[in-house]
């Protein structure tokens, strides 16, 4: 009997290459003629760990071992489904908290996929230890919480094996970077701000805010940025509150702390939770307000450390010694000011402590997601519909301003935990204010927490993901490269290579043609040392210019003197120099300027900044134009030159903030020029002039390779909408090189550009010959 075929999770393979190497049969992209249903049917959640508990059991009779799997009800990822449509299939990808023998991995993968919709990434124990407890906990975790790495516990040296394990673990998950995703979520604006700053400084990417949404343009795609802390699972908390074990434990604790005002702290044992600062603040409270000695108690629940090392040991010793000292100094046989519970409690046990506490204290010095305040508020509210909920409930929160949930808890007393005195006063205020004040603050908090639970969080993310991906599903997305060089590139479905036959046919039919050509990277290779145009290029340009149906312009960032000298044989050629600051319609015409009375005092501010970076960057140089300053780094080390360019761009923007200029980066350049000077404005003037002279363009060819040329491509679309260009299929906006662009077409290099122009020139010459013969 043939074994039934197993259902396997589809896999993808990424290969290096360029788009032209993939024909339609080989290519696999997300675009399709039919509307995509991926977004509505399946959501893939990738996390460090799967929301699965794994237990290995051994049969006492047979001695055979087997694995037992169940959902981890305390996992946030498991509850993401609560906020999604019921028909949505959710696939989880992550590591399993158990070491699985390689011989069992295929079978277990199949079990997890079929029963739990989970795809495990099996991490070897040695990799997991060094990756998570080593590199993540010792290096990344402190850095992401604004602290120096815990190098002391590593002997003061960087352990390269930890980094190699981190790389290996990420490769097991997927070779993909953050900017290859569709939506990136952050707990706090601080985290998002630093990420956006890194994108700006390291990659030259600027974010845009539109109608409250933040987006980054990267390789033709818009990556959404979302800032929102997670919530708790209300159903789970309400279920815990109904348990008889919880209610009996509450009665025990009420008797144990009878006559006492309980302040509660629930924290993991690590250096960022600020537990010792909280302990010192409690000491200060009792010393400043001695009437509370014997009446106020801080109960500190200390969950076991998730990391390890000398730093954890030191902070634990510091916390314990402080508590012993304070209890000896301010306590007595009948009163313990600070009660330390240093064991893992169940959620039911924690709920009991939440219920009997007058205030919850969170003094973390940096924390992205801390759900303790939310759990506390829900437990103080009690069970919906019970007799106790009929009377007004009350609660107070003292929350560090460095915690992700702090902005959402508007009724909390916010503190800087490093200021022990002010934290002590906040704790005193929390237990001293009137019951009415406590009720009002509790009502505000409960309304927020109960409506912004984990279901709301997942729904909100799903809606934003749907909005972000709406445009992506109209594009063709390609995976290019391998390893850390992998990129997802999104191209318009209409983006394609310029077909020579199509443009030649359109060119032959047209009566009024506009031809706009960039110079460097389009007519002249970027790598060429001699930047003067060849005799071949001059000849082709002349043949195009001599056709009376043509209006031909070279639109460049170069200075007018060089361009005028180089193209002096082309008397009918129009030239736009310095991105259009200077413009000349033909050789016998005068140069027009963008602004007659422009001042250039800003150059005296910008040039010293450029000189600083030029001196520090071998291979870089400054080009001083009449209207602009340009810093070139084509001959510098590629990585260092690019990094310096991004740093200098930020520096110049700061220095010139109040000047009428713009600072832009381009192909191996950083340029400072007057505002409003763009190649797009040049294209606008050319099309408007032709329209005014009753020569509305019925054929447009615009070719460029740089960011500055994108302005021309955009203007062409605007001109078509305005009716300045005849709306037909004879408009060819073409970029040089295969990359995301506003252009509809591409050519691979300058050789293809020259060959195409030569073919068009031949058509013009043949047309002149035919005209001469007929006359």
pLDDT at residue 37, rounded to an integer? 38
Distances in whole angstroms, Cα of residue 158 to Cα of each of 174, 184, 270, 367: 25, 30, 21, 25
Of the listed ranges 344-353, 469-478, 605-614, 716-725, the one predicted with least confidence: 469-478
Confidence of residue 386 (pLDDT cuts 50, 70, 90): very low
Evaluate if residue 38 carries a pLDDT over 50. Answer: no
List of residues 6+ apart from 266 with CB closer than 8 A: 301, 303, 350, 353, 360, 372
Asked if pLDDT for residue 294 goes beyond 90, the answer is yes
CA dist 135 and 185 (Å) reads: 22
- Pairing mode, if any, of strands 118-120 and 89-95? parallel
Where are the alpha helices (H) located in 292-403, listed in sequence order?
310-330, 347-356, 372-381
262 backbone dihedrals φ, ψ, rounded to 5°: -95, 125
Give the residue-averaged pLDDT of 307-328.
88
At residue 596 the predicted structure's pLDDT band, cuts being 50, 70 and 90, is low
335 pLDDT above the threshold of 80: yes
Rounded distance between C-alpha atoms, residue 448 and residue 445, angstroms: 5
Predicted confidence (pLDDT) at residue 31 exceeds the cutoff of 50: no
pLDDT of amino acid 456: 87
- Global confidence as pTM: 0.60
Of these ranges, 57-66, 121-130, 487-496, 565-574, the one predicted with the greatest mean pLDDT is: 565-574
Q: What is the pLDDT of residue 684?
A: 92
Q: What is d(CA 337, CA 595) in angstroms, rounded to the nearest whole number?
A: 76
Residue with more model confidence, 251 or 469: 251
Mean pLDDT of 162-175: 74
What does the pLDDT read at residue 311? 77
Angle value at C-alpha 567, between 562 and 572, nearest 5 degrees: 135
Which region among 76-80, 295-299, 519-523 has the lowest average model confidence (pLDDT)?
76-80
Half-sphere exposure of residue 630: CA atoms within 13 angstroms, side-chain side: 18
Q: Does the pLDDT at position 44 exceed 60?
A: yes
Q: Which residues pair with 70 in a beta bridge?
A: 53
Q: What is the pLDDT of residue 168?
A: 80
Higher pLDDT, 3 or 292: 292
The DSSP code sequence of 363-389 is: --SSBS---HHHHHHHHHH--TTSGGG
Angstrom distance (rounded) from CA 619 to CA 636 = 4
Q: How much is the average pLDDT of 451-462?
A: 86
Residue 51 predicted with pLDDT over 50 = yes
Please state, in angstroms and rounded to a whole number, the distance separating the CA atoms of residues 606 and 356.
Answer: 64
Is the predicted pLDDT of residue 367 greater than 90, yes or no? no
Give residue 449's pLDDT: 92
State residue 425 phi and psi, 5-degree precision.
Answer: -65, -35
Q: Under a CB-based contact definition with an 8 Å cutoff, are residues 420 and 46 in contact?
A: no
Question: What's the average model confidence in pLDDT over 396-416?
Answer: 91
pLDDT at position 8: 46
Contact 744, 492 (CB under 8 A): yes
- Give the per-residue pLDDT at 76: 76
Query: Rounded to whole angstroms, how far apart are CA atoms 591 and 571?
Result: 14
Q: Is the pLDDT of residue 9 over 70?
A: no
Pick from 586, 578, 730: which is nearest to 669 by CA?
Answer: 578
CA distance 156 to 149: 10
The pLDDT score that the predictor gives to residue 173 is 65
Could you give the CA distance from residue 317 to residue 325 in angstroms, rounded to a whole number? 12
Using one digit for the tens of pLDDT, what is the confidence trace for 649-707? 989 999 998 888 889 887 788 999 888 888 999 999 999 999 999 899 999 999 998 88
pLDDT average, residue stretch 519-533: 88
- Work out the number of other CB atoms within 10 angstroms of the CB of residue 271: 23
Question: With helix as H, strand as E and coil as C, how does 419-479 read?
Answer: CHHHHHHHHHHHHHCCHHHHHHHHHHHHHHHHHCCHHHHHHHHHHHHHHHHHHHCCCEEEE
Give the residue among 627, 632, 686, 633 at the shortest CA–CA distance from 662: 627
Q: pLDDT class for 30, splitting at 50, 70, 90?
A: very low
296 pLDDT above the threshold of 60: yes
Q: What is the DSSP string of 547-563?
A: STTEEEEEE-SS-HHHH
Helix (H, G, I), strand (E, B) or coil at 609: helix
pLDDT score for 18 = 38
Could you tell me the pLDDT band of residue 285, with boundaries at 50, 70 and 90?
A: very high
Structure tokens at 425: 């006063």
Mean per-residue pLDDT, 255-272: 92
pLDDT top residue among 652 and 382: 652
Pair 415, 399: CB distance under 8 Å: yes
| Nearest in space to 150 (alpha carbons), one of 257, 256, 307 | 307
The answer to whether 664 and 708 are in contact (CB under 8 A) is yes
**Mean pLDDT score, 245-253:** 89
Where do we find the tokens 């040089």?
736
**3-state class (DSSP) for residue 150:** coil
525 Cβ contact partners less than 8 Å away, ≥ 6 residues apart: 749, 750
Average pLDDT score, the chain: 83
pLDDT band at residue 33 under the 50/70/90 scheme? very low
pLDDT for 14: 34
What pLDDT is stored for residue 266 in this prediction?
95
Minimum mean pLDDT among 132-141, 240-249, 313-322: which range?
132-141
What does the alpha-carbon distance between residue 215 and residue 207 come to, in Å, rounded to a whole number? 6
pLDDT higher than 60, residue 10: no
Give me the long-range contacts of 500-503 (CB less than 8 A, separation at least 24): 500/756, 500/759, 503/701, 503/732, 503/756, 503/760
Cβ pair 311, 148 in contact under 8 A: no
Determine the average pLDDT of the residues in 723-747. 84
Q: pLDDT confidence of 324, banded at 50, 70, 90? A: very high
Sign of CA dihedral 467, 471, 474, 478: negative
Q: Does pLDDT of 629 surpass 70?
A: yes
Distance separating the N- and C-terminal Cα atoms of the chain: 87
How many degrees, rounded to 5, is the angle at CA 436 between CA 431 and CA 440? 95
3 state SS of 129:
helix
**Does 195 or 447 have the greater pLDDT score?**
447
d(CA 504, CA 763): 8
pLDDT at 158: 73
What pLDDT shows up at residue 472? 65
Question: In the 3-class helix/strand/coil scheme, how is 214-278 assigned residue by residue?
Answer: EEEEECCEEEEEEECCCCCCHHHHHHHHHCHHHHHHHHHHHHHCCCCEEEEEEEECCCCCCHHHH
| Secondary structure element (H or E) that encloses residue 714, with its range | helix 710-722
For residues 657 and 210, what is the distance between their CA atoms, to the nearest angstrom?
23
Q: What is the largest CA-CA distance in the chain?
A: 121
Determine the pLDDT at residue 383: 57
Average pLDDT over residues 81-85: 78
Angle between helices 372-381 and 435-451 (to 10 degrees): 110
Burial 636-655 (b: 16+ CB within 10 A, else e): beeeebbebbbebbebbeeb
Contact 565, 581 (CB under 8 A): no
Over residues 194-232, the pLDDT tens digits come to 888 888 777 777 777 766 678 887 777 788 888 877 888
* Rounded Cα gap, residues 309 and 287, in angstroms: 34
Tell me what the mean pLDDT of segment 337-359 comes to: 93
Q: Is it the case that residue 598 has pLDDT exceeding 90? A: no
For residue 384, pLDDT over 50 is answered with no
């Amino acid at each position: 009997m043939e074994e039934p075929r197993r259902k396997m999770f589809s896999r993808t393979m990424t290969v290096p290459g360029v788009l032209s190497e993939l024909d339609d049969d080989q290519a696999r992209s997300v675009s399709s003629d039919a509307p995509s249903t991926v977004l509505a049917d399946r959501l893939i959640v990738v996390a460090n760990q799967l929301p699965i508990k794994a237990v290995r059991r051994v049969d006492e009779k047979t001695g055979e071992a087997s694995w037992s799997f169940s959902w981890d009800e305390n996992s946030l990822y498991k509850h993401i489904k609560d906020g999604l449509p019921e028909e949505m299939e959710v696939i989880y990808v992550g590591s399993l908290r158990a070491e699985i023998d390689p011989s069992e991995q295929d079978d277990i993968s199949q079990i997890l996929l079929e029963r739990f919709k989970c795809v495990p990434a099996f991490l070897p124990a040695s990799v997991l230890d060094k990756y998570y407890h080593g590199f993540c906990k010792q290096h990344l975790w402190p850095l992401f919480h604004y602290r120096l790495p815990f190098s002391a516990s590593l002997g003061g040296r960087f352990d390269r094996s930890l980094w190699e394990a981190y790389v290996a673990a990420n490769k097991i998950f997927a070779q993909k970077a953050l900017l290859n995703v569709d939506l990136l979520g952050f707990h706090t604006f601080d985290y998002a701000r630093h990420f956006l700053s890194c994108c700006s400084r390291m990659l030259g990417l600027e974010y845009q805010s539109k109608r409250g949404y933040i987006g980054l343009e990267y390789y033709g795609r818009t990556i959404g940025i979302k800032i929102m802390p997670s919530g708790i699972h209300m159903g789970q908390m309400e279920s815990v509150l109904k348990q008889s074990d919880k209610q009996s434990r509450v009665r025990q604790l009420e008797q144990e702390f009878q006559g006492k005002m309980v302040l509660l702290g629930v924290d993991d044992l690590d250096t960022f939770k600020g537990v010792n600062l909280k302990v010192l603040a409690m000491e200060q409270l009792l010393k400043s307000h001695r009437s509370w000695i014997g009446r106020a108690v801080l109960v500190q629940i200390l969950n076991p450390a998730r990391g390890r090392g000398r730093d954890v040991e030191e902070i634990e010793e510091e916390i314990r010694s402080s508590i012993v000292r304070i209890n000896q100094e301010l306590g007595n046989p009948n009163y313990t000011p600070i009660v330390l519970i240093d064991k893992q409690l169940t959620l039911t046990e924690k709920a009991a402590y939440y219920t009997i506490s007058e205030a919850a204290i969170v003094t973390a010095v940096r924390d992205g997601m801390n759900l303790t305040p939310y759990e506390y508020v829900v437990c103080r509210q009690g069970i919906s519909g019970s007799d106790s909920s009929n009377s007004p409930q009350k609660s107070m929160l003292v929350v560090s301003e460095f915690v992700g949930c702090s902005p959402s808890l508007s009724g909390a007393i916010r503190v800087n935990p490093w200021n022990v005195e002010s934290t002590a006063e906040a704790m005193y205020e929390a237990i001293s204010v009137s019951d009415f004040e406590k009720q009002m603050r509790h009502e505000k908090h409960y309304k927020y927490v109960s409506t912004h639970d984990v279901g709301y969080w997942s729904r909100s993310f799903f809606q934003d993901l749907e909005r972000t991906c709406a445009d992506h599903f109209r594009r063709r997305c390609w995976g290019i490269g391998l390893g850390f060089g992998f990129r997802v590139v999104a191209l318009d479905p209409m983006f394609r290579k310029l077909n020579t036959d199509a443009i030649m046919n359109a060119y032959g039919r047209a009566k009024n043609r506009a031809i706009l050509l960039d110079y460097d990277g389009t007519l002249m290779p970027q790598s060429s040392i001699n930047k003067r145009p060849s005799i071949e290029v001059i000849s082709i340009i002349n043949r195009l210019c001599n056709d009376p149906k043509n209006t031909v312009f070279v639109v460049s960032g170069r200075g007018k003197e060089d361009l005028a000298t180089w193209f002096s044989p082309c008397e009918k050629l129009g030239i736009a120099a310095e991105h259009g600051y200077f413009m000349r319609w033909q050789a016998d015409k005068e140069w027009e300027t963008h602004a007659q009375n422009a001042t250039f005092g800003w150059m005296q501010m910008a040039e010293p900044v450029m000189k600083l970076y030029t001196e520090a960057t071998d291979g870089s140089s400054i080009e001083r134009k009449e209207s602009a300053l340009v810093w070139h780094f084509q001959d510098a080390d590629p990585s260092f030159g690019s990094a310096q360019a991004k740093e200098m761009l930020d520096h110049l923007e700061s220095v010139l903030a109040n000047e009428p200029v713009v600072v832009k980066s381009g192909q191996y350049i950083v340029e400072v020029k007057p505002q409003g000077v763009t190649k797009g404005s040049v294209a606008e003037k050319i099309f408007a002039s032709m329209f005014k002279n009753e020569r509305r363009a019925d054929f447009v060819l615009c070719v460029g390779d740089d960011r500055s040329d994108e302005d021309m491509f955009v203007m062409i679309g605007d001109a078509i909408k305005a009716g300045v260009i005849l709306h037909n299929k004879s408009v060819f906006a073409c970029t040089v090189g295969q990359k995301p662009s506003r252009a509809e077409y591409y050519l691979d290099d300058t050789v293809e550009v020259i060959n195409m122009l030569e073919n068009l020139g031949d058509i013009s010459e043949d047309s002149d010959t035919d005209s001469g013969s007929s006359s």
